[in-house]
Amino acid sequence: MKAFYAIVLTLVIIGGLNWGLVGLFNYNLVDSLFGSATWLSRIIYTIVGIAAICAFAFYDRTRQRD
């Protein structure tokens, strides 16, 4: 389970960095690497989005420890 949380956290960080690049420099790294609106870029966005949903479980775990 620890590996799953590490993967989720890594994907959320990658997504956050991509959004930071979009906001600061109007540069979308995913689109640059895989093309704009291709099926591959949509899969990557979906995977990162699912990781963000899974990251909500971290909030519950941190509240239980306090």
Give the pLDDT of the chain (66 residues) as one tens digit per residue.
889 989 999 999 999 999 999 999 999 999 999 999 899 999 999 999 999 999 988 777 766 665
**Paired tokens of 18:** 């991509």
What is the distance of C-alpha 31 from the center of its chain? 14
In 10 A of CB 57, how many CB atoms? 12
Closest CA to 49 of 2, 11, 10: 11
Handedness of CA 14, 48, 11, 39 (dihedral sign): negative
The domain segmentation of the chain, as residue ranges, is 2-65
